[in-house]
Structure 1
Amino acid sequence: MVFFCVYSSVSLLSGRMQYVCAFFDQERKEFELKCVREQGAMREQLQVHIQTIGILVSEKSELQTALSYTQQAARQKTGEAEELSNRLQATKQRVSELERTLSSVSTQQKQFDKHNKELERERDNLRLEVYRLNSVSEERRQQSSELSEQLKLKVSENSAMRLDLNELRKRLEMADVMLQQVDTHTHSPHTLSLSFVLQLFNSLLMESVAQLQTERDRYAEQIQEEGQVWKDKTEQLLSQVLYATTPLAEPIELLRDNEQLSRMCSEQESRLSELERHAERGAEDAEDRRRMLEDVQSDKATISRALAQNRTLKDQLAELQNGFVKLTNENMELTTALQSEHHVKKELGCKMGQLQEDLHNFKEQLELKSLEYQALLEQRDQIVAHLQQYSAGYTALASEREQLHRQYLQQSQLMDRLQHDETHGRVQLEMSHKQLEQYQERLERLSRDNEQLKAEVTELLNSSALATPPRDQGDGVESQSLPESPQKSSIAIPEDFESREEMEEFVRDAVARVEAERDEVRSRLEEERRLHLASRHQAAAPSMEFQHHISGSEGVPVEVHEALCVAMEKLQHRFTSLMQEKADLKERVEELEHRCIQLSGETDTIGEYIALYQNQRAVMKQKHTEKEQYISMLAQDKEEMKAKLAELQDLVMRLVGERNEWYSRYAGMVASTDTTANPDLLAPSDLVQRLPPDSQALRPQEDGTARQIMQLLQEIQGPRTVPFLGDNPCIPFFYRPDQQDEVKILVV
């Protein structure tokens, strides 16, 4: 009866064990299917995450290359902008230099105008002097006409006196004949005294005649010499006056006028010489007639009169000499002034030519600068387009960065969740380890109890005489085997990775595998816990029954004890395998933690790169705004410079037109005065009064135009200060002509 009870309990226990094993197999299959499905879903998610991370990494590399390209292009553009700013500074320096040269030329032009005014005043003075000389020549002409009339009278008188002289000679011959006859006939003292007196009178007359002839010759030579000197000086004076009064644009007409004046002067001088010769002849004839016709008293009167005339002539000659000295001094001053004026005009002509060449070069440079400025504007438009593209790319990068940041947050949340699950798994593993230790202690106690039971069963079997029925099928306990322990999962960690993507993929695979193994271990632990509980209940029930029936039974069957031993051995083997898997999982978790730390460091570096990129983009944006402001200011300066240069060109053209108009009117007036020139020349004051009011009104207008030009040049010379040029202002340099009229640049 006891054996039947034991057998029934063992069969019940075996049925329960079969039920528990079947339930455990079913649960294990369901859990495996669930784990497979979850692993497939996790693998799909992991593959999606790996693909997204690969795409993000590739986009990051592309963005880094694009960023490097953009940085390189930005550096290139900044270099080009610096080069253009340097060129613009050089052009501004050149413009300032040209403005300084233009101001110096304007000052020289003012000096030239002042000198021209002085020359005009000297010309007016020379015209007055010419007018005075013309009046003097007119007086001399009148005197020559009067002298010619007197000469005619004297010639008529001379002819009459010659007739009288012939008669007197005849009478004298007759008297000589009579004297000879008287001498031959009678030598009276009265006749001798008369002849002596006559001879003495004749000798005196001859001496006086000889003396008068010598004085006449001497005076004639002096008059001729002085007339020649006067002629030369008047020719020089007239040529200089004509050269000073006439403008440079009319040399042919001046030469013609000079030749006409020289011819007129030569004709007047020839007339004067002829009149002087006629006067001398008339005077000689008159003196001869007076000497021969008059008495000694009349001869004395004529001598005194001749002496008085000589004194007057000497006084006139002294006055003429003083006038000639004054004229020579004035002529020397005029020649020096004209030479200096000619030299100044040559220098001004050279400077004007240089100024025109400089203006031409300046216009060419302005055209080149305008072309360069247009090229700069095109480059600015290109830079603006590139910057717009870069801004669009940066917005795309910002959106992608936000996506990456969201994904990074998701990954960090996932890593935090994994770490939390890992810590929870560790806690559960520790708890399961403690429970396993408790179970091991209980199993040891059960094994000791089983040994005691075995000993008691053997004693009971030996003491019992009952025959046990043969066991063909067995109780099924030894046939039932616990599920095999899972194989030890090993993750081969390569020593080096080919790329970061491979490392991230390996880490994700390892994390997924560890999570799967963790879930599997967790499920196994739960199953083991249930199995332990079931086995505990199953082991506790027979022991209780066995203890309950110990008093009436003889022992436990050997098969039951062996089945329990096999179950305990399997349980121990399963426990050791679980502990080994736990150690492996701990190592893997530590390695994964190290990988996660590396990934967090790399994510921090990625965040630093993104912050650096944002800072660089902010700097580039600021530089771009500064560059746009600078370019707009340059455009405004260029427009202002264009307007000022156009205004300056208009003023210069107006000044040139006024100057040409003034010169044309002045040349017309000079030509009209030359064409209407006659012996009665006009005075310079009349010429000045006859000038039209327009030509007199041109000078204030010209001064106003020059004043506007100087004001505009001062405005151009004082441009606005540009804050973008840095600490390198324009370096001024000035022009200074040397002794060879060459301009050298002195850098200050």
Structure 2
Amino acid sequence: MADVVSSTLSKKDKLAAARKKLKRFKEKNKTPGQDTKSSSTRSSVSPSFNPSIVGEKTSSVTDQNPHLPDLHINERPTASTESLHQLSQHINDLLHESNAIINGEAPVENSSVAQLEERNRELAALLEKHIQANEQLNVQVQQLRDQSQQLQNELHEEKQSFVDKQRDVGSLKDQLQVHIQTIGILVAEKTELQSKIDQLKKQSDQRLDEIEEMGGRLRVSRQRITELERNMSSINSSSQQYEKNSKGYAKDIDKLKLELYKSNQTVEELQQQLSELNGKLSSKVSDCLAHEQNVEDLRKKLEMAELYTQQLSSQSDKESLKLIDSLQQEREEYIKKVEHYQEAFQTVTNERNQQSEQYQHYIDQLQQQTQSLTNQVTSLTDEREKLYSEQHEAESKMHSLRRQLEKAESQSQCVSISSSDLQSEINKLRADYEELAKRHETQIRDNAQLSRFLDEKENKIMDLESTVGDLKEESSNKAQLLENIQSDKTALSRALTQNKDLKQQLAELQNGFVKMSNDSMELMTKLQSEEHRGHELADRLAQQEDELKDMRELLASRDLKLDEIQKCADNLQRENYQQEQIQDRLRHYEAQAQLVETLQRELSASQDMMNALTTQNSELRNMLVKSRDNKDIYDESKDEKSDTIIGSLQATICQLEAERNQLIENLNDQRNLSDNLSVKVADVEEQLKMTTNPDENIVSRVEFDKLKKTMEAIQEKYTRAMRDKADLSDKADQLEHLVLQLQGETDTIGM
């Protein structure tokens, strides 16, 4: 304070001295009627003190009000140099005048007077300028006086405010101590909360680890579920394909049975036709025997004719002619009969060929049908084996599902035992949560009050900082106060940020606790629902076991029926083989029939020969008649002709005898063949009689309908069992997943 007072007093003394000097300068400048010497002396005196006055004045003004602009700083040095220049010129003029006077140079007075006048004019102009400058300086001095008065008033106010601020600083120090104590309490609470947060973080880390483990288990279970779903979809698709195939097979079996029925009818018709053909063959055989007898009779008659021809030479011509006529008539009758027999035999052969072709075509169809039946039987057996394997797999899966259900039931019992402990721990956690919520609300209120109080104090501190900034030079404790205030501000800001962080952490903990409580309630509901599902699954398992037993019985009956069908197919194969053998025999018989046809052709050739002989006989008769008419005229020529005719007749008779022998041999062979054919036909008839009872091994329509219904029932039960098995597997996987979740949560709650 003493330094401040001394500095203000020194400034006042300087201002008073400057004012006195200015008054003197003005008085000297205002005195009129002075000569050039006095003005020169004034001008010489004024430069001696004007610069100092101006310098002191400007220094005082700049010290008191450094913000005022320097208006005439550039004009002051110009005025002082001008005055010096004028003084130097005036002194030079005086020296020149004195020298001139001394040297006797008087005429120079006029020039010096003119120079002096000019100089006076210049000095008058300079005076005007100085007067203007003095007026400006007076104005500035008045302004400076006003400013100094204002500064004195401000100093007095600042002293009073400084005293008030010192009082406020004392109260602020007390408040700062209170704040420091509150900050210490907050820091202690913060450490406690931080320790709790660390514990909660550890628990949350443990929960996260457990959640990750549960997520891994969930992924594994989901993969298993997807694999099982794929297997179930493939099994369902295969079962649907089996159903479609079984329906198609049932339709094919119906068609085949209809075809078998039709084939049996055609076989019966063919058997009837064969019996008719056998009757026709027997009739033809009898006809052949009759023809053979006729041929023998003809041979005998030929022999008789030969005898008659031999006797013709000895007997009369009339008797020979009668015999020849009778022989010709008989020959014509025989020719007609042979033609009739040939036509009948030709028709019989054509019918037989047609029937053989039809029979061959029918046998080919039967072979194709039997081949398709064998293929179908093999495919059905393969499918049956596949169904057996799938049934075994389904049984193994059912056993595994039973085991899993037993495990799930045991685990659900354990979970039900641990659920009571979980409920008690949940109640404890709820009580802790309510206490924490109450403490959190009180903490929020305290923090709100502290934040308001701190905001007010921060505003006051800002005001104090603005005032303390002006009083830095006057107070020695300002720096310490500012540092303390700044440190308090930083501590308060840190406390506020920590309180905000604690609020956020408490909110997160509240949300986590709410989630945990919701999860626990959901788990309890899921446990109850899964227990109910477990009971339902057990009931369904019992039902499915009963259905599986029924399905096994139906499959056993189906296997027996399949074995019967297999036996029927084997019998059909045997019948086809026998029919093939019969067909081969018929082919052999057809070959033998060709031999018969050749023999018939030979018979026709012999008949032609007989016709030729009859014509020759008729010619001979005509010749004999002519010879009788011309007996007397042509005796000699008759003898010659008779010799030639007898030679020709003998040659033809030899040929006829040779042909007769061949025909006899052929007839014997034909008889043997006919006997063999009759025996073989009898064998064929017996075989056909043996094969005419295929209906004994054929399944009736009623039995087929029953088999079809049982197959459809088996398929429906199988599809139901597979669907129920899929549902059970899905529910078992869900139970495993829930049990694992409950185990993880019980472990975390126990931790």
One fold, TM greater than 0.5? Answer: no
TM-score, reference length from structure 2: 0.43
TM-score, reference length from structure 1: 0.43
Larger Rg belongs to: 2
Structure number having the greater helix percentage: 2
